[in-house]
Structure 1
Amino acid sequence: MVTLRRLDRQEIREQLEREQFDVLVIGGGITGAGVALDAAARGLRVGLVERRDFASGTSSWSTKLVHGGIRYLPQLDIGLVHEALVERGRLIRLAPYLVEPLPFVLPLYRFNRHPLGLKRTPPPGLAMSLYVRAGLLAYDLLAGRLNVGRHRRLSQSEIARLAPLLQRDGLFDAYAYYDARTDDARLVMNVLLTAVQHGAVVCNYCEVTGFERQNGRLTAARVRDTLDGHEFAVRAHVFVNATGIHGEEVERLTGDSPEVHIVPSKGVHLVLPRETVQLDEAAVVLPETSDKRLLFVVPWGPRAILGTTDTGMGPLDEPRADDDDIDYLLEHANQYWTRPLSRRDLVSAYAGYRPLIRRGLAESTAQLSRSHVLVEHENGLISILGGKLTTYRHMAEETVDRVAARLGQPSRHVTHRLPLVGTIGLAEARPRLERLAAELGVEASLPALIHSHGVVAELVLQQVAEDESLRHPVVPDLPYLQAQVVHACRYELAQTLADALERRVWVLFADWDHGLPALERISAIMARELGWDEATRQREIERYRQRVHSLFGTERGVAERLAPAAPAGTPGGS
């Protein structure tokens, strides 16, 4: 039987307040999670605090890809592409249940002038095909022995099979190359759980409000629990700022001027029923946009994700997909799709900010590099900012090398061969999991359970065995089980309905009704697990409803079915 440590948030907070740490990581996105894991795996005493929920920012609003970044080749950012491709291969080995290879169909059209963001290309035809193919060959070579599949030219029959709705008018060539997809929020969670297995102490909803100093050096972080207002200090020898787009704010909290300038870039994605794009075993690259970028259409369970934009900033804590963003994505997709997509096809839309680093006079955010910056401050803070989801492990390794040097310890690299929780023993456990799922009548949900949890899916199934009512799905038409909500409360520090329905399972964005009809049942489960009284449960329901209407109300132009006038009980009504 798989075992996992049950997490008690009150005990964790008391531990943070009581102990002295080698390093305190500030930020619970993928970068902070990676730093916590790397440091803990080296034997350091590690604490981590996140002011909201884990992965509640950029790390859960991505295109769900683990990729080399083929569009960075024309920018000659060879180092970034090579780093990302190597890390892609490593992640597939370290968490094969969660990071899976996926072919990408890349079509070339006669109306394309700058496919893949190329600044100069030959005219459409053989010369352009050779030009693009040379780039794909470089992409394969840069991955080295960790490559997950070689590119190839596609026949007409292969195009029809992999992407039947792809526009054929003007299509003169097409290729397939390989990258990978993942559940970004689950990746963050599973990295954190692996860190906890190695002794890290991690806590969400703990906001750093300032620092204590002695002789010019940081000695403690002042922290406020945003759930109950309790304030306390966390003592550490070294502090790591891994807060992404909020990196400058944390630098200012030390009392010193920021040394890095962050330029947030908004990326918007649309969520569609997969049948509207008819993709199953491959994603599609839309090779050119009006601003010389590219878009992806990625199959994602019963849904597909279309994205992304690269535009300026707005409210950092509550990014929104506005009408212009949605129109941009639909307009460009419809240049390549034979079945026109409209707003009525949208299940949802989501937006997030990339923490880009400005180093000079780039004309737009699309031209800024996705590489990271590591800054050692004289006061004892180390900032790791920028970068990509794909390269988080290497970024963390570099950061912890600096931490180790400050602590007078040798560098010891271990995470490049350290499997994430849920990986070890999965192959042997599959037959057992299949039998148990069949006995419980939840075999249809097993692939999604394994994709989220790996071998830890056995714990979820055990909860179903103990309480048959948990075998039911959270919402119809999606594979997530109510038992996963219990699991999220017991083992993953879920504290709110949004924690459970937005990040532990992807109901908020993947469900046509955004989880609203399930709130009574799910809030009752969480109340039982977390000890909520009735007033707290109702507040949570209302807070979740407000988030749904804020994200998807008609004033955003996304979904008329969520108009404020919709009566309760109607699809999407509140």
Structure 2
Amino acid sequence: MTSLVSPQPTDRPQLFRTLAGLGQVDLAIIGGGATGLGVALDAVLRGLSVVLLESHDFAKGTSSRATKLVHGGVRYLAQGNIALVREALHERSTLLHNAPHLARPLPFVMPGYKCWETPFYGTGLKIYDALAGKAGLGSTEFLNLRQTQGCIPGVRTQGLKGGVKYWDGQFDDARLALALARTAASQGALLINYCPVIELIHELGRVAGLQCRDAETGNVHTLRARCVINASGVWVDEIRQMDGSATGRDTQPMVAPSQGVHLVVDSEFFPGDHALLVPKTQDGRVLFAVPWLGKVILGTTDTPRHDLSREPLAFAEEVEFILGEAAKYLARPPSRSDVKSIWVGLRPLVRPPQNEGDNTKKISREHTVLVSPSGLVTVTGGKWTTYRAMAEDVLEKCMESALLERLPPSETGDFKLVGAPVTGQGRTSLTGTPGLDAYGTEAEWLAGLPGAQVELAPGLTEAMLRFAARNEYARTVEDVLARRSRLLFLDARLAQKLAPAAADILGEETGVDPRLDEFLALAGQYQRLPD
């Protein structure tokens, strides 16, 4: 279908001119990950004036480092958290509907090596189907040995009895975050990346706005707001401490971070378009092998983390765990030298009232919305799949706390994101090599940009880099090779090789330093496995 509206430019000087011209807005949001972006879109669609500020790039943190699954949470079903699973299954359906160019159904297979495994897990997955109801993506099937091998030809066959096939979804997390940002902007919200909040403004003990700094120029801007939302994910406690220091109140940490490590290997190690799920590994974790954008993601871990690095490193034991468990289920297990990229994400798990030690696997994945005595609204926890429901809860809490007047109902349940076709199914899957299908209805606009026929890597053209700079807020080489394109996450060595060419194009488009040296160092980190 032909796009009716040309892509909105994201000219940075113009964004700051707009910010400088604002007096007071209804809502100021701190944090440009899934949660903050979801709140921005929901709020602007309800008629509020909205500004969102992100200290780095949109989805730079947790929101670009997910396992790429849109799911109800089979592991949460095993824990008996029926309410969370039911909500997530509903939101899974909504996300697939609103962004069919970025999220698609994906079949999974649980292989069974013991006679009891297939009927046991199959029964649980039938319950999963029942909870999904009309939002189901396909019925659970019991597979015999031959059928299991047909679905996942890369599986180890020694001792294999059969398997269970079920359906969930997968997505491109960073590009979905970008679509949320651009959709909110198209509806009138102002969103700016690389603009950290440096101070909260208080009047008579209440939050009345904030000060932010343009990371490129150093210019400081003041913004007054009726309501300030702290949606900075793992880093929410930093903003809460800023609030507490100004009001003389102690703030206890809300977040108990854990990290998830992912290894990426070539698809030859696990060919096909079905994912593999091992529901219970040796230490009780879940193991995935997920085909994604022409590669296979192996993961993940759930390890306590006490520092909050923007680029956390994997622990050696995490890598050994993933490779060791993969070797039990893959006919051709990958070795350390086969890893194309290693990346780590921090999860903002909500700290329990009483510390139960460092077992983060037991901490709830549900989100929490908290209003401080000064009126700062903080939201953290949750997961990508439920971002939209989290946004609704945030705005409901704002209304309950009289920070906002009663608003009309949310419109995000049936609101297509930028690039989504109005009718039709969008792309068929996300398991193949990336390309123009990630742009949905905007793909045609790239054909008119310089370099549309010049391919830098499979599925990546010069025109895509220019589009990222002109219409997708990109400022650095990392922005375009890690999040606008996912090359860093798929093949760090290739991303490193292409970085100088990307820097030249980006510098030509933006006129600012694209920070090539920083990216080269980062790409080196994504290639190195800990000893």
2:218 aligns to what SS in structure 1? coil
Q: Is the 8 A contact 1:372 1:395 kept in 2?
A: yes
- Is 1:307 the counterpart of 2:299? The answer is yes
For 2:467, the equivalent position in structure 1 comes to 487
Alignment TM-score, normalising by the size of structure 1: 0.86
For 1:415, the equivalent position in structure 2 comes to 412
Residue among 41, 55, 58 paired with 1:54: 58
1:361 CA displacement: 4.8
1:18 CA displacement: 2.7
For 1:471, the equivalent position in structure 2 comes to 453
Q: Aligned equivalents of 1:410 and 1:506: distance in 2?
A: 37
1:480 CA displacement: 1.8
Residue among 242, 249, 258 paired with 2:251: 258
Distance 1:429 1:345, change over 3 A: closer
Q: Is the 8 A contact 1:38 1:415 kept in 2?
A: yes
For 2:525, the equivalent position in structure 1 comes to 550
Residue among 326, 329, 353 paired with 1:333: 326
- Is 1:318 the counterpart of 2:318? The answer is no
Letter in 2 for 1:542: D
- Is 1:32 the counterpart of 2:36? The answer is yes
* Segment drifting more, 421-430 vs 50-59: 421-430
Residue among 508, 512, 529 paired with 2:488: 508
Q: Is the 8 A contact 1:86 1:144 kept in 2?
A: no
Residue among 277, 283, 300 paired with 1:285: 277
1:99 CA displacement: 0.8
Q: Aligned equivalents of 1:180 and 1:480: distance in 2?
A: 24
* Segment drifting more, 328-337 vs 253-262: 253-262
2:261 aligns to what SS in structure 1? strand
- Is 1:399 the counterpart of 2:399? The answer is no
Identity of aligned residues (%): 36
Q: Aligned equivalents of 2:331 and 2:73: distance in 1?
A: 27
Residue among 109, 113, 120 paired with 1:109: 113
1:105 CA displacement: 0.4
Q: Aligned equivalents of 1:424 and 1:300: distance in 2?
A: 22
- Is 1:297 the counterpart of 2:289? The answer is yes
Q: How does 1:160-175 map to 2 (within 5 A)?
A: 160-175=149-164
1:321 CA displacement: 2.1
Q: Is the 8 A contact 1:425 1:455 kept in 2?
A: no
Q: Is the 8 A contact 1:26 1:32 kept in 2?
A: yes
Letter in 2 for 1:546: A
Q: Is the 8 A contact 1:220 1:235 kept in 2?
A: yes
- Is 1:368 the counterpart of 2:368? The answer is no
Distance 1:270 1:428, change over 3 A: closer
For 2:197, the equivalent position in structure 1 comes to 208
Residue among 204, 208, 213 paired with 1:224: 213
1:9 CA displacement: 1.2
Distance 1:218 1:361, change over 3 A: closer
- Is 1:267 the counterpart of 2:270? The answer is no
Letter in 1 for 2:297: I
Q: Is the 8 A contact 1:489 1:530 kept in 2?
A: yes
Q: Aligned equivalents of 1:553 and 1:296: distance in 2?
A: 21
1:178 aligns to what SS in structure 2? strand
* Segment drifting more, 26-35 vs 393-402: 393-402
1:166 aligns to what SS in structure 2? coil
* Segment drifting more, 408-417 vs 355-364: 355-364
Q: Aligned equivalents of 2:388 and 2:147: distance in 1?
A: 35
Task: Identify unmatched segments of 5+ residues in structure 2.
Answer: none
Q: Is the 8 A contact 2:294 2:434 kept in 1?
A: no
1:301 CA displacement: 2.2
The count of corresponding residues between Structure 1 and Structure 2 is 514
Letter in 2 for 1:149: G
Letter in 2 for 1:151: T
* Segment drifting more, 225-234 vs 206-215: 225-234
Q: CA RMSD in A?
A: 2.0
1:267 CA displacement: 0.1
1:277 CA displacement: 1.6
* 1:66-88, Cα deviation, whole Å (9 max, x unpaired): 10110111211111111111100
Residue among 76, 84, 100 paired with 1:96: 100
Q: Aligned equivalents of 1:474 and 1:33: distance in 2?
A: 30
Distance 1:512 1:38, change over 3 A: closer
Residue among 65, 72, 76 paired with 1:68: 72
* 1:502-537, Cα deviation, whole Å (9 max, x unpaired): 1100111212524222223211211111013xxx35
1:542 CA displacement: 1.4
Q: Is the 8 A contact 1:373 1:384 kept in 2?
A: yes
Residue among 442, 456, 462 paired with 2:448: 462
Task: Identify unmatched segments of 5+ residues in structure 1.
Answer: 111-124, 431-444, 558-574
Alignment TM-score, normalising by the size of structure 2: 0.93
Q: Aligned equivalents of 2:297 and 2:444: distance in 1?
A: 29
For 2:349, the equivalent position in structure 1 comes to 356
Q: Aligned equivalents of 2:492 and 2:238: distance in 1?
A: 36
For 2:9, the equivalent position in structure 1 comes to 6
Q: Aligned equivalents of 2:252 and 2:90: distance in 1?
A: 29
Residue among 381, 390, 395 paired with 1:386: 381
Q: Aligned equivalents of 2:30 and 2:127: distance in 1?
A: 37
Q: Aligned equivalents of 1:40 and 1:241: distance in 2?
A: 17
* 1:78-106, Cα deviation, whole Å (9 max, x unpaired): 11111111100111111112110000001
Letter in 1 for 2:251: P
1:515 aligns to what SS in structure 2? helix
Q: How does 1:420-431 map to 2 (within 5 A)?
A: 420-425=417-422, 427=424
1:31 CA displacement: 0.5
Distance 1:76 1:339, change over 3 A: same
1:471 aligns to what SS in structure 2? coil
Distance 1:553 1:306, change over 3 A: closer
Q: Is the 8 A contact 2:454 2:461 kept in 1?
A: yes
Q: Aligned equivalents of 1:472 and 1:323: distance in 2?
A: 39
* 1:360-402, Cα deviation, whole Å (9 max, x unpaired): 4545101111100011222121111100000000000111223
For 2:18, the equivalent position in structure 1 comes to 15
For 2:123, the equivalent position in structure 1 comes to 134
Letter in 1 for 2:396: D
Q: Is the 8 A contact 1:87 1:391 kept in 2?
A: yes
1:316 CA displacement: 2.4
Letter in 2 for 1:291: D
1:237 CA displacement: 0.4
Letter in 2 for 1:296: F
1:404 CA displacement: 4.2
2:277 aligns to what SS in structure 1? strand
* 1:103-144, Cα deviation, whole Å (9 max, x unpaired): 00011223xxxxxxxxxxxxxx34x54332221111111112
Letter in 2 for 1:312: P
Q: Aligned equivalents of 2:445 and 2:87: distance in 1?
A: 35
Q: Is the 8 A contact 2:348 2:380 kept in 1?
A: yes
